[in-house]
A and B are shown apart, each in its own frame.
Chain A
Amino acid sequence: AQKITQTQPGMFVQEKEAVTLDCTYDTSDPSYGLFWYKQPSSGEMIFLIYQGSYDQQNATEGRYSLNFQKARKSANLVISASQLGDSAMYFCAMREGLRRGGMLTFGGGTRLMVKP
């Protein structure tokens, strides 16, 4: 079974509007972390936001917030006031706390396109 699922291969959003990118995850580990990365066309992986499984509040970083619904095992990324520079691939990833190594497992990504 897929550990990280991103069901939206591609999305359009109008500039200045908010957009939600979906991510669901699957783990039996009580301790885990969820990450979102942005990958522009230049290829680098840019860290956006982190949510720990024990965090009581949803993570926020500037225009990015993570809508963490633990019971539903979802960790959706919300981008407020979209900008043209937000056009990129977005990846959700998970690190499972009890799994030796601390590596990340990635979803397939969502391509976001911001329209002027």
Chain B
Amino acid sequence: DADVTQTPRNRITKTGKRIMLECSQTKGHDRMYWYRQDPGLGLRLIYYSFDVKDINKGEISDGYSVSRQAQAKFSLSLESAIPNQTALYFCATRDINEQFFGPGTRLTVL
């Protein structure tokens, strides 16, 4: 089984809809991250969390919110989706010298 899982893997939604992307990890890591990747570009940090009570904004947090329900679960929400939030979203956890990425969620906002 994968160490970091994301659901859904693909999602098409309409402008104005609320959507939640979920991430679970079995690695026991405290640190979890949400990144966004736009076509042809590198990843940019949306939010990160050290534990359930420690959540921090990243470089591009506007329009997003997160919830750390447990050490193993970190969800990303788009309260009112807009087309420029169409992107590939990655969840990740961190070990000392490596970040472990989930498989990604491809989100399209029409």
On A, residues with C-beta under 8 Å from B are 4, 33, 35, 37, 43-45, 47, 50, 52, 91, 93, 100-109
User: Secondary structure at chain B's binding surface: helix, strand, loop or mixed?
Assistant: strand
A109, B99: Cβ atoms closer than 8 Å: no
B42 partner, pick from A52, A103, A107, beta carbons under 8 A: A107
27 contacts between A and B (CB under 8 A): A33-B97, A35-B98, A35-B99, A43-B88, A43-B103, A43-B104, A44-B101, A44-B103, A47-B99, A47-B100, A50-B98, A93-B43, A101-B31, A101-B56, A102-B31, A102-B48, A102-B94, A103-B33, A104-B43, A104-B45, A105-B45, A107-B42, A108-B40, A108-B42, A109-B40, A109-B41, A109-B42
Which range holds the interface residue count of chain B? 20 to 34
Q: Chain A nearest CB: distance from B47 CB in Å?
A: 10
A33, A43, A45, A109: which has the most chain B beta carbons within 10 Å? A45
B97, A101: Cβ atoms closer than 8 Å: no
B31, B41, B43, B90: which has the most chain A beta carbons within 10 Å? B43
